[in-house]
Amino acid sequence: MDSIRISGGRRLSGRVRADGAKNAALPALAASLLTDQPLDLRGLPLVQDIRTMVRILQHLGGQAELGDDPAGGSSCLVRSDDETTHELPYEIVKTMRASAMLLGPILARRGRARVSLPGGCAIGARPMDLHVTALEALGAELAVEHGYIVGEVPGGRLRGARHHFPKVTVTGTENLMMAATLAEGTTELTGCAREPEVVDLARLLTKMGAKIEGAGTDCVRIEGVGELHGAEHRVLPDRIVAGTYLVAAAMAGDDVTVEDIVPGDLTALLGVLQDVGVDVEVDATSVRILRNGPRKAVSVRTEPHPGFPTDMQAQYMALATQVEGLTVIEETIFENRFMHVAELDRMGADIRVSGHSAVVHGRTPLSGAQVMATDLRASACLVLAGLVADGETTVGRVYHLDRGYEHIEEKLRGLGAEVERISDRRVETTA
């Protein structure tokens, strides 16, 4: 099992490119199930979740192959022209939460589905009932049996309907948006997620012939069509990967530029970094972080987009240990997303958790230690803490990290960090 070792204290400088957005690439791959024509997807990050989704599509009879994208990232030409399989077993989906979004496309085109309840990070409940209730509103008949969601569509085609999501759900919005593209009639969804990844999926579906209005607002209207066709699409940059490098620069950087990003998707984080005292220069497709004066504590509350993203909470907590004063971080999205606190405390942090809030006592020296990642973003948090810790930090269970970050150790080394990946078989490289 791989781990990452960091020798702290090195200052960062230079330029780093953000990956394509994992959370945009996964629904784009899922959308291939809606047509028998090929999708040519570009700019995909070569992370474990993408490899898992490709295996899922192959299991469902699709032809899918990852390749290099000359413009950056990876490409995938995928064609789902075999509709004979409608079942996804636990062995395939157990490592990835995003498998939930496959239920809608499978039902919409194949008329029946048997999909294992998903696995992934243990950061709290992501209830499938939001998906199930919404799909039932479109005419699907669904039940949970022995760890599987089993469903069929009487008559073979979903029907347009009005549905309100009682809680904002990104994958639920994406799931229903895909399903409704092939439904008979018009579907109106309210209470929708407004994340940039939802908008990116709507762009792809529109290229495929879907009729969608309102993506990026809380009300999305989809007029169903008889069939969709193939398309070419480049996924948007990953705002969370970009944000992780921006926080790394705020913690340990002298002059760092994060390139190939959409700064408008990072408005909440950039505003907080400026309030903390970080010198931020924003360009059309990049953000530059410069070393300047003292950092001060700024409290945050996670919220659905366009609020402060829950996927940046752990990384921001690492920064909060290095600023002057007390930072209160309130987590409103997932109930178990403070599991990294115990590992930060092992490194010398002073953090107290009460309910859904964590109080971080800032300007606390960190010392290197052996720590264990509990989920994807916690992994990144511990790597960032290691950058400023005294001595050596070893982060275990980095298979979590590999689900969402492509070669993070190489990119940090390119900025001057002393980071290496340790494998059971070999040390891959050293700084």
The series of mean pLDDT values per 10 residues for the chain, 431 residues long, is 95 97 97 97 94 93 91 92 89 77 95 81 60 96 90 96 96 97 98 98 98 98 98 98 98 97 98 97 97 92 97 97 98 86 97 96 97 93 98 95 94 98 62 38
Separation of alpha carbons 326 and 303, rounded Å: 21
Q: CA angle 415-418-422, nearest 5°?
A: 120
Report pLDDT for 371.
Answer: 97
Report pLDDT for 274.
Answer: 96
121 is a catalytic site residue: yes
Asked whether the bond before 306 is cis by omega within 30 degrees of 0, the reply is yes
Terminal-residue alpha carbon distance, the chain: 21
Q: Mention every residue, 6+ apart, whose C-beta is less than 8 A from residue 411.
A: 16, 17, 245
AA identity, residue 34: L
Place of tokens 């993070």: 408
Report pLDDT for 331.
Answer: 96
Report pLDDT for 120.
Answer: 47
Longest dimension (CA), the chain: 66
Report pLDDT for 146.
Answer: 87
- Sign, CA torsion 166/170/176/180: positive
Report pLDDT for 210.
Answer: 98
Report pLDDT for 429.
Answer: 41
Write out the H or E segment, with its range, that includes residue 241.
Answer: helix 239-252
pTM of the model: 0.94
- Catalytic residue, from 76, 121, 192, 381: name it: 121
Measure Cα distances from 141 to 90, 113, 196 in Å.
21, 10, 31
- Are the C-beta atoms of 382 and 343 separated by less than 8 Å? yes
- Rounded to 10°, the helix 313-320/239-252 angle is 0
Tally of residues, the chain: 431
Half-sphere exposure of residue 424: CA atoms within 13 angstroms, side-chain side: 5
| Class of residue 68 by CB neighbours under 10 A (exposed 0-12, middle 13-18, buried 19+) | exposed
Which DSSP letter does residue 325 get? S
